[in-house]
Amino acid sequence: MRRVSILGATGSIGQNTIDLIARDADAYQVVALTGGQNIEQLAEDAIRMRAEVAVTCHEALYPALKSALAGTGIAAAAGDAAVAEAAARPADWVMSAIVGAAGLVPGLAAIKQGATLALANKETLVAAGPLVLAESAKSGARILPVDSEHSAIFQALAGEDIAAVERVIITASGGAFRDWPTAALAGATPEQAATHPNWAMGQRITIDSASLFNKALEIIEAHEFFGLAPSQIEAVIHPESLVHALVGFNDGALMAHVGPPDMRHAIGYALHWPERRELPVERLDLVKIGTLSFRAADTTRYPALRLAREVMEAGGLAGAIFNAAKEKALDAFIARRIGFTEMAQVVEAVLDKMSSENGLENAIFEIDAVLDVDRLARIRAGELIDQHF
Ligand code: NDP
Ligand code: MG
């Protein structure tokens, strides 16, 4: 039996992961499930999946979780440290599906104990790519990408020599506002931004899809994970969300990964790798689909894409600053403190401000430094929002 843990089990990726595991429950021993606010779902899944431990990141919710698990023999725990401890419990395979930088420390704990890490939490690579990859080299833990674009690239690279890769192209649906005139974006509401034309995902990544901050994070993620130069990574708008990514080789061939917009494909690929097993996803009918379309992603309309390039060029702690400022700006947009287009203004201003303070280029790239700049970037973003918006 494979021992598996799911971090962020109550979320969109977490629930899709449980769906796959539950279909073949006898093959797995569920070690830990972690969640946040959704105690009811967490307890229900922990009981159904016979988990050893269930953990909420919110200490105040410990009594609720404890009572929901009373008499089941399943251990309950709460708090950020308990989430990281759950990730450190010996397991063969750990799904990293917490949203935001909060996923970094638990993901690292899983890598340190040598588990294969199925990585949905892109923020881990954006904030601390080199550090995380160094830890995985040290412990021998394999990291398998779950973000659909990166899973697509990974699959297109199977059996290929990375040295023969000229470029990768990742696609973006364009999100909720892809057909809106640019001038209308400033007035977009959180509710409008949180509807996705093709994918069912958590609220935060859905809004990031509309601003293309999600694509910005993914460009950095591809740069870190595959060791590609910034100039080798392109993003195009592909409204159908069927081609997830393409890899271009030095002989001119483009290998495309095509599939339905269903995260259970990428999750299942990471679960069964290096094998392929049957997965419960739709089989595409190309004749019915008829047309696949692509258009340029305009960096004036989507400043997040330009900022991603600047972050990659800067390197070091810039990714951690970028991600934290983005998370804070997103909080402010969801709370209606700032407008949709102001999110990019906040992030750019924080990057500018922090690049001229503290001599960041000389900072030692270690986990404490990442967590420090993450905190500082959130403070700077909060100050800017209070002063200017
Ligand atoms: P959701 O918001 O749906 O789920 C997030 C999960 O993390 C929930 O279990 C939530 O608990 C938990 N959580 C929230 N805050 C914290 C915290 N501070 N500490 C610990 N746990 C926390 O997100 P998604 O599933 O959409 O996304 C998860 C990750 O996967 C993100 O990094 C996202 O970018 C990435 N991803 C997602 C895709 C998708 O299709 N959804 C596609 C590709 C990547 P609760 O809900 O109980 O509060
Ligand atoms: Mg993606």
User: Do the domain assignments include residue 364?
Assistant: yes
Domain termination residue (choose one: 129, 145, 161): 145
Provide the pLDDT for residue 143. 98
Q: Which two tokens stand for residue 385?
A: 């929002």
Provide the pLDDT for residue 384. 97
What is the 62 CA–ligand 2 centroid distance (Å)?
32
Q: Which atom of ligand 1 is nearest to the CA of 263?
A: 40
User: Do the domain assignments include residue 121?
Assistant: yes
Domain termination residue (choose one: 124, 145, 166): 145
Per the structure, the complete domain to which residue 13 belongs is given by: 2-145
Provide the pLDDT for residue 359. 62
**What's the number of domains the chain is made of?**
3
Are 168 and 194 in the same domain?
yes
Give the separation between CA 304 and CA 128, rounded to whole angstroms.
Answer: 19
User: For the chain, how many residues are written?
Assistant: 389
User: Which residues on neighbouring strands pair with residue 75, listed in sequence order?
Assistant: 53
Q: How many CB atoms lie within 10 A of CB 64?
A: 17
Are 104 and 222 in the same domain?
no
Ligand nearest to the CA of residue 261, numbered in listed order = 1
Ligand nearest to the CA of residue 196, numbered in listed order = 1
Q: Whose CA is nearest to atom 42 of ligand 1?
A: 147
- Count Cα atoms within 13 angstroms, Cβ side, for 40: 0
Q: How many CB atoms lie within 10 A of CB 169?
A: 20
Are 135 and 228 in the same domain?
no
Tell me if residue 258 falls in helix, strand or coil.
strand
Are 154 and 289 in the same domain?
yes
SS3 content of the chain, % helix, strand, coil (to 5): 50, 15, 35
- Give Cα separations from 117 to 56, 84, 178 (angstroms): 20, 14, 33
Are 242 and 335 in the same domain?
no
- Establish whether residue 106 lines the binding site of ligand 1, counting it when its CB lies within 6 angstroms of any ligand atom: no
Tell me if residue 377 falls in helix, strand or coil.
helix
What is the 109 CA–ligand 2 centroid distance (Å)?
24
Give the separation between CA 303 and CA 300, rounded to whole angstroms.
Answer: 6
User: Do the domain assignments include residue 108?
Assistant: yes
Strand boundaries in 222-332, DSSP class E? 233-237, 243-249, 254-258, 295-296
Are 19 and 38 in the same domain?
yes
Q: Which of 240, 241, 206 is nearest to 99 (CA)?
A: 206
The CATH number given to whatever domain includes residue 321 is 1.10.1740.10
Are 82 and 122 in the same domain?
yes
Long-range CB contacts (within 8 A, 24+) of 53-62: 53/77, 53/86, 53/89, 55/82, 55/83, 55/85, 55/86, 57/82, 57/83, 57/98, 57/102, 61/37
- For 89-122, where are the alpha helices, taking DSSP H only? 104-112
User: Do the domain assignments include residue 276?
Assistant: no
Q: Which two tokens stand for residue 288?
A: 């019915």
Provide the pLDDT for residue 263. 98
Provide the pLDDT for residue 360. 64
Provide the pLDDT for residue 363. 67
**Residue indicated by tokens 């922090």:** 354
User: Do the domain assignments include residue 103?
Assistant: yes
Provide the pLDDT for residue 12. 98
Are 156 and 292 in the same domain?
yes
The CATH number given to whatever domain includes residue 61 is 3.40.50.720
User: Do the domain assignments include residue 305?
Assistant: no
Q: Which atom of ligand 1 is nearest to the CA of 199?
A: 40
User: Do the domain assignments include residue 306?
Assistant: no
- Establish whether residue 105 lines the binding site of ligand 1, counting it when its CB lies within 6 angstroms of any ligand atom: no
Q: How many CB atoms lie within 10 A of CB 89?
A: 17
Are 350 and 369 in the same domain?
yes
- Count Cα atoms within 13 angstroms, Cβ side, for 143: 31
Q: Which of 172, 11, 212, 240 is nearest to 103 (CA)?
A: 11
- Establish whether residue 17 lines the binding site of ligand 1, counting it when its CB lies within 6 angstroms of any ligand atom: no
- Establish whether residue 122 lines the binding site of ligand 1, counting it when its CB lies within 6 angstroms of any ligand atom: yes
Q: Which two tokens stand for residue 119?
A: 């990585």
Q: Are 338 and 246 in contact (CB under 8 A)?
A: no
User: Do the domain assignments include residue 301?
Assistant: no
- To test ligand 1's pocket by mutation, which of 205, 208, 265 has the most ligand atoms within 8 angstroms of CB? 205
Give the separation between CA 33 and CA 30, rounded to whole angstroms.
Answer: 8
Domain termination residue (choose one: 85, 116, 145): 145
- To test ligand 1's pocket by mutation, which of 41, 45, 98, 214 has the most ligand atoms within 8 angstroms of CB? 98
Are 118 and 195 in the same domain?
no
Enter the pTM of the model: 0.98
What is the 121 CA–ligand 1 centroid distance (Å)?
8
Are 159 and 244 in the same domain?
yes
Ranges of residues in the chain whose predicted pLDDT is under 70: 358-363
- Establish whether residue 97 lines the binding site of ligand 1, counting it when its CB lies within 6 angstroms of any ligand atom: yes
Are 180 and 111 in the same domain?
no
